[in-house]
Amino acid sequence: MAVKQFAYSEDQNNLNQKNTQFVYPLFLIFLIPVLIILNTFWELQQFQKINATELQNKTILAKTIFASTIADSLNEEDVLQEKIEKITKSDNELQEITILKPIADGFQVLASSNTASLGAAYKSLQYSSAWAEDKDITILTPKEKGQEQNWIIISPLENSNSEKVALLSLKISTADANALTEKTITNSLVALAVTIFFVLLLLFNYSHFFEYAVLFKKLKEVDAMKDDFISMVSHELKTPMAAIKGYMAMIFEGVAGKVDQKAKVHLEKVLANIKRLDALVDALLDVSRLEQGRMQFDMQSVDICEVLTAVTSEIDVQAKEKKLKLEYQPLPTPCPFIFADPERLDQVFENIIGNAIKYTFKGSISVYHRIEEDQLKTIIQDTGIGMSKQDMKDLFKRFYRIRNEKTADIPGTGLGLWITKEIVLKMNGQIYAESKEGIGSIFTIVFPIVKENKK
């Protein structure tokens, strides 16, 4: 009872520990919308930057185009004024064009689309430095309430003789670009809200997936507990069964007094049943070892003919009891080697040949080999009850037994073929079966041939 309690609390601990693994997918699920949000804002920022640069470039391009048109008309102020007004009207973004000429202490407006400023004189650091350093100056006016934001470019103008003669000041509105940015922001936020809504909807709808995941984990835990339980019970059964077998042997030998014939018959039945129980416990132990990956394999080069000679001569007693002929045709020496655990190989062949004897009522069991390329096939063929195609579908599954009139009185666990298949696969072999109901069955076990000294 105490042991059971201990095992439970340990499992519970395990379960709690493993459930923390759900934090990770949950974290991912919440991370996705957060990443979408961050990505949207980052993209918007990038868009705004690109937009600003584009507008700045546009301002510089406008300056380059106008400079040549305007510079040659500098001496005719009326023509210049007319040209400026025409250009300003043709472009919505172009807010103002002003031409200034240098005067003694500053710059005077020569022509401007803002006619109110005509003739006005300005002292400005930007004008002076554009003139003195002979370079373009671009300024983004600050955002103020009720006022449009503008890009201003101030650039010196040269006449056809490449003489610096005036300053050009262009004012380009950012209103259209800002409107486009705002529209993009609104669209992105709507798309973001819709995405998050669907993510949440999906989360809500599929929340039971988490329940299934927890359930699946619990099932695995329970399955592991079951394996542990089978393994523990099987081990515990081994000791009393060994004692029973020992005492039975002593009784048979007459240690406890003479056993009369009638009692012997009953005792033999007891012994046969103990052997069955022993085989069942062994099978259960193998199942739990294989399932938990605890079965040990001492792999080495094995002379398969030697193994089969030993197995067939040992098992021949059973065949003889049923008046069946068990024939083994070893390959001519030297017999090819395979890489396997000899004891496990023994177990595999005992099982398949044992089945052939068990499910055959008259006739024979033949064991022989075929070599195909670098593969060694061992064939176990019987003239037994056979199996239908339908019955063979689950042949290598755990606890599978074919139940019909012919098999009704044959004892078995349905574990032999599963264990055999698992062992063969673990030793890099293959196993398959062919059968015809009422005619017999053929089991083929295939292993790659190896050089004798493979380690």
Q: How far is the CB of 283 from ligand ADP (least distance, A)?
A: 8
> Among residues 220 and 275, whose Cβ is nearest to ligand ADP?
275
- Helix, strand, coil percentages, rounded to 5, for the chain: 55, 20, 25
Residue linked to tokens 């200034």 = 100
> Among residues 176 and 327, whose Cβ is nearest to ligand ADP?
327
Q: What is the arrangement of strands in the sheet containing 137-140, beginning at the earlier edge strand? A: 121-122, 106-112, 94-103, 164-173, 150-158, 137-140
CB of 348 closer than 8 Å to CB of 290 = no
CB of 154 closer than 8 Å to CB of 168 = yes
> Among residues 402 and 446, whose Cβ is nearest to ligand ADP?
402
| Alpha-carbon gap, residue 291 to 275, rounded angstroms | 24
> Among residues 105 and 321, whose Cβ is nearest to ligand ADP?
321
Residues in contact with ligand ADP by CB under 6 A are: 355-356, 359, 382, 384-387, 395, 400-402, 407, 412-418, 441
> Among residues 31 and 410, whose Cβ is nearest to ligand ADP?
410
Residue linked to tokens 């002593």 = 250
| Alpha-carbon gap, residue 384 to 322, rounded angstroms | 12
Check residue 113 and report its DSSP letter: S
> Among residues 83 and 421, whose Cβ is nearest to ligand ADP?
421
Q: How far is the CB of 418 from ligand ADP (least distance, A)?
A: 6
E strand or H helix that includes residue 193: helix 175-205
> Among residues 245 and 398, whose Cβ is nearest to ligand ADP?
398
Q: How far is the CB of 353 from ligand ADP (least distance, A)?
A: 9
| Alpha-carbon gap, residue 349 to 355, rounded angstroms | 10
Q: How far is the CB of 339 from ligand ADP (least distance, A)?
A: 25
Q: How far is the CB of 455 from ligand ADP (least distance, A)?
A: 32
323: left (phi over 0), alpha (psi -120 to 50) or beta: left
Q: How far is the CB of 294 from ligand ADP (least distance, A)?
A: 21
> Among residues 312 and 441, whose Cβ is nearest to ligand ADP?
441
CA–CA distances in Å: residue 291 to residues 75, 254, 287, 343, 369: 101, 43, 6, 19, 31
> Among residues 286 and 382, whose Cβ is nearest to ligand ADP?
382
CB of 173 closer than 8 Å to CB of 113 = no
Q: How far is the CB of 393 from ligand ADP (least distance, A)?
A: 11
Q: How far is the CB of 360 from ligand ADP (least distance, A)?
A: 7
Return the bridge partners of 221, or none.
none
CB of 174 closer than 8 Å to CB of 55 = yes
| Joined tokens for residue 329 | 């045709």
Q: How far is the CB of 387 from ligand ADP (least distance, A)?
A: 5
Q: How far is the CB of 231 from ligand ADP (least distance, A)?
A: 20
| Alpha-carbon gap, residue 417 to 353, rounded angstroms | 11
> Among residues 353 and 427, whose Cβ is nearest to ligand ADP?
353
| Alpha-carbon gap, residue 77 to 115, rounded angstroms | 13
Strand duo 164-173 + 150-158: pairing = antiparallel
